[in-house]
């Protein structure tokens, strides 16, 4: 079972920041938070991941709370092309004995509106 | 560079037939994963290959499903005696996975093969 909970859907106005929350209250010390998104009829696309520090790349920012029990993915200026299902995934890093497989939950369906 | 490619993009078959789905991972990636996504469902893990290690088959739903990875590169997922419940999008992902540690094991997905069993 997925170790994360996310709201099923969210709306965001084009050009505004989209803040997608994720709860992972049972996260372990060696587990990372990964975010993927899936645009309709495409394969999932990697966005960002982090362990405990906040992370930023060209796509998004990831804010992880100090207790690591929740995180927020931020798309700073959402566009219509950001409409997708966003998945928050908790997984063990390299060197684990679980094979690194991703356990997807239901994700958050983000609709960016003009 | 080239991403993960999958073929065919769509496959329609009749119940009871066997099908083969192909995945070409990103060059140099050592790990390869198969997932499937049924209509209205999330993505579920099927099988994982890492180098020369024995594959992790824990996600295969039945013995009608099998996969192989030849030469550490291309992989084929085979479904024998297909059933209507096998209809789904089958997704392949690859990563540069180092068992000794490190973070270069982000999985990159292909576009998927949409399988329809009539």
pLDDT number for residue A30: 82
Among B44, B106, B112, select the one facing A43 at the smallest CB separation.
B112
Instruction: Using an 8 Å CB-CB cutoff, list residues of chain B that contact chain A.
Output: 4, 31, 33, 35, 42-45, 48, 50, 56, 59, 91, 93, 95, 97-112
What is the structure's pLDDT at A29?
A: 84
B91 and B35 Cβ atoms separated by less than 8 Å: yes
% chain A with pLDDT above 90: 72
Contact B65, B10 (CB under 8 A): no
pLDDT, position B104: 52
- Mean pLDDT of chain B, nearest integer: 90
Burial class of residue A29 (count of CB atoms within 10 Å of its CB; 0-12, 13-18, 19+): exposed
Partner-chain residue, chosen from A45, A103, A107, that has the shortest CB–CB distance to B45: A103
Smallest CA–CA separation between B102 and chain A, in Å? 6
Average pLDDT, chain A: 90
Comparing A1 with B14, the larger pLDDT belongs to B14
In angstroms, rounded to a whole number, what is the distance separating the alpha carbons of residues B80 and B92?
A: 19
At B71, the pLDDT band (50, 70, 90 cuts) reads confident
pLDDT at A94 over 80: no
Q: B116 in helix, strand or coil? A: strand
Most confident of A2-6, A25-29, A37-41: A37-41
Residue A95 has pLDDT above 90, yes or no: no
Average pLDDT rounded to a whole number, residues B22-46: 91
Average of pLDDT values for A29-58? 92
Q: Residue A13: pLDDT band by 50, 70, 90 thresholds?
A: very high
pLDDT in tens, A66-77: 999 999 999 999
pLDDT at A1 over 70: no
Low-confidence winner among A4-8, A47-51, B10-14, B101-105 (lowest mean pLDDT): B101-105
């Amino acid at each position: 079972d997925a170790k994360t909970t996310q709201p099923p859907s969210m709306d965001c106005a084009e050009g505004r920041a989209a803040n997608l929350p994720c709860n992972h209250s049972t996260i372990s010390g060696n587990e990372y938070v990964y975010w993927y998104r899936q645009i309709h009829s495409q394969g999932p696309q990697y966005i960002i991941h982090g362990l405990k520090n906040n992370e930023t790349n060209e796509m998004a920012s990831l804010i992880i709370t100090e207790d690591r029990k929740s995180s927020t993915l931020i798309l700073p200026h959402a566009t219509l092309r950001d409409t997708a299902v966003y998945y928050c995934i908790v997984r063990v890093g390299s060197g684990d004995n679980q094979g690194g497989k991703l356990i997807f939950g239901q994700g958050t369906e983000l609709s960016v509106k003009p | 560079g080239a991403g993960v490619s999958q073929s065919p993009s769509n496959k329609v078959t009749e119940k009871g037939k066997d099908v083969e789905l192909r995945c070409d991972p990103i060059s140099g990636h050592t790990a390869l994963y198969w997932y499937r996504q049924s209509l209205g469902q999330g993505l579920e893990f099927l099988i994982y290959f890492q180098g020369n290690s024995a594959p992790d088959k824990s996600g295969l739903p039945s013995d009608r499903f099998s996969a192989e990875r030849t030469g550490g590169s291309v992989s084929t997922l085979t479904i024998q005696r297909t059933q209507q419940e096998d209809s789904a999008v089958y997704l392949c992902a690859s990563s540069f996975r180092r068992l000794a540690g490190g973070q270069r094991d982000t999985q990159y997905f292909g576009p998927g093969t949409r399988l329809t069993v009539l």
